[in-house]
Homo-oligomer: A and B are copies of this chain.
Amino acid sequence: MSHAIRIKPASRVDLSSIPTSADGGMTKEEGKARMVELSGEINELQDLLYAAGEQSLLVVFQGMDTAGKDGAIKSVFRSVDPLGVKSWPFKVPTELELAHDFLWRVHAVTPRKGQLAIFNRSHYEDVLVVRVKELVPVKEWRARYDHINAFEKLLADSGTIILKFFLHISKDEQEERLLAREEEVEKAWKLSVGDWKERESWNAYQAAYEDALAKCSTKHAPWYVIPADRKWFRDIAVAETIIETLKSYTDAWRESLDAVGTIRKAEIDAFRSGQGES
C-alpha cells in the first residue's frame, strides 16, 4: 500500500484538508533505508519495461514552486538506465509552441514503447498558471479539462501507463525553502523574484489545482497527492506508487520477453542450418 493519496474520479478535492507533513509513521533514518530498497525495485521494473518494449510509462510532476519536483525526480529516478528514460521540462511556451494547440508540444515528447518519460511540469500548466494569470479567456481554459482527459485516454489506449503526482507542501514550508536558497551559495542560481511574486497568488493556485485534480483524475490516468513537506517521505510515496502500479504488468512483460526470445532463437537456428546447407 502506497502512502500517496489517490484522487477518486469525479470527486471534490479540498487540499487544505490533506496534510502536507505526513511521515507514514517512519523515522527519517528508516525512510532513507526504505528508499534504497524502492530505488532498486524501480530500476528492475524499468529494465523490464524497456526490454519488453510493450508499453510506455508517463510520470507527471506538478506542484507549487519549491515543492520538490526536481528533487523528487532526481531521487526516485537517479539510478535508472539512461537508455530508457527522458525527462522533459515544460517552461513558458515559445512563440512556435503558442502558435499550436496547448497539447502539441506535450504530445511530441510522449514516451515510445519501452520508455519512461518524466514531465517536469506539464500540460496541466495550461489550466494552472494560465488560469491564475488570466493568459487566455475563461471559456478557453475551462474547455481544456475535457481536452486533457481525451488526450490522456488516447495515450492510455495506446499502452501508456500514466501516473500524475501533485507534490503538496504548506505555504510555510515554501517560505522556508525560498529563504534557504538565499542562504546557500550553491542554490542561489535557483533564486527568482518570480517565485516570491507567484507566492502572492497561493490561494488562487491551490484552487486551480483542486479543480485540475478533481476533473482530471481518471481510472487510466490517476492523480496522486503526495505529502511533500518532508522530502524523504515525498520520495518514498512517489516511488511506492510507481512500483505498485508497474507490478501489475510484470507477468505479461515477462511472458512477452520469453516469446520474443523463443522466436529469435528459432530464426538463428534457421539461419545456421541455411548456412550449413549452402
Contact = CB atoms under 8 A, between A and B. Distances in A.
Interface string A67-99: 000100110011111110111010000000000
Interface string A252-277: 00000110111011011001000000
A261 B260 CA distance: 53
A115 to B, nearest CB: 10
Interface string A47-62: 0000110000000000
Given A191-B265, A193-B271, A118 B182 contact: no
Interface residues of A, number: 38
A182 to B, nearest CB: 6
A33 interface: no
Given A268-B196, A271-B193, A185 B82 contact: no
A218 interface: no
B79 A83 contact: no
Contacts of A185: 258, 261
A73 B83 contact: yes
Nearest to A88: B86
Contact of A182 (B85, B89, B188, B268): B268
A120 B182 CA distance: 40
Interface in A105-156: 118, 120
A73 B80 CA distance: 11
A192 interface: yes
A175 to B, nearest CB: 13
B78 A264 contact: no
A85 B82 contact: yes
A268 B193 contact: yes
B191 A261 contact: yes
A264 B195 CA distance: 12
Nearest to A188: B261
A149 B118 CA distance: 34
Interface string A189-205: 10111001100000000
